[in-house]
Amino acid sequence: MRKIFLFILLPLLLATCKRDDRERLFEILVPNITFEIPAGLSGGLPRVFELDNLSSSVIALAKNAGIDTATIVEIRPRAATLQAIQGNADYSFLREVVIRVCRSQSNVCYATDEAFNIVYYDERRIGSRINLNPSLPNLRRTLIRERYKLEILFYLKQGAVSPTAIPTRLDMIFEAVK
């Protein structure tokens, strides 16, 4: 019975998997957003850094590429990196990092606005650079506007404290697709 069920289920699963045929129109580079993680952070609640009223370059990039913004169906996260500006810093006190992108002047960004994240489940040494994983939201409604808000959430490991102030640079890449 189990083999028959697997024999029927496998073709159904393969039939539902479809290749992503959307065409990438252009990349949106958001380089060199700088902030400082202060010394002495501790606790279980996330530490939130808000950067509001950031300039979005989507309209200008679309215009330079000769693309009408109405043809952009989706703007999705592709890659993000947190890097210590001074190379000897260590992010090993962090358990999780979440980056949310939401509308400018909004009171709060929600979990559905999450663009990038990383979670460390073990006690390994992280170092001075963190490569974040892209999430799945379509950020078109937010990034097609002239301004947006960025929230960076840091969750610290149990009992950990940020040892020194760490000047940090965030670089992000999004892609516009049709």
Write the CATH number for 91. Answer: 2.60.120
Closest CA to 161 of 47, 51, 35: 47
Helix (H) or strand (E) holding 46: none
DSSP state of 69: G
Structural domain contains residue 154: yes
Euclidean distance between CA atoms 127 and 39, whole angstroms? 16
Structural domain contains residue 161: yes
Domain hosting residue 42, numbered range? 36-177
Strand partners, 54: 148
Q: Are 148 and 102 in contact (CB under 8 A)?
A: yes
Q: Are 141 and 32 in contact (CB under 8 A)?
A: no
Tell me, what's the pLDDT at 143?
93
- Sorting pLDDT into bands at 50, 70 and 90, what band is 159? confident
CA–CA distances in Å: residue 9 to residues 2, 38, 129, 138? 10, 53, 43, 30
Tell me, what's the pLDDT at 14?
62
The domain tally of the chain equals 1
Euclidean distance between CA atoms 20 and 18, whole angstroms? 6
Structural domain contains residue 2: no
- Average pLDDT score over residue span 57-81: 92
Q: How many CB atoms lie within 10 A of CB 117?
A: 17
Closest CA to 109 of 46, 156, 42, 175: 46
- Sorting pLDDT into bands at 50, 70 and 90, what band is 16? low
Structural domain contains residue 27: no
- Sorting pLDDT into bands at 50, 70 and 90, what band is 160? confident
- Sorting pLDDT into bands at 50, 70 and 90, what band is 36? very high
Tell me, what's the pLDDT at 74?
93
Structural domain contains residue 100: yes
**SS3 assignment, position 124:** coil
Decide if pLDDT at 168 tops 70. yes
CA–CA distances in Å: residue 16 to residues 5, 12, 21, 94, 138? 17, 6, 14, 38, 22
Structural domain contains residue 10: no
Say if pTM beats, i.e. exceeds, 0.75. yes
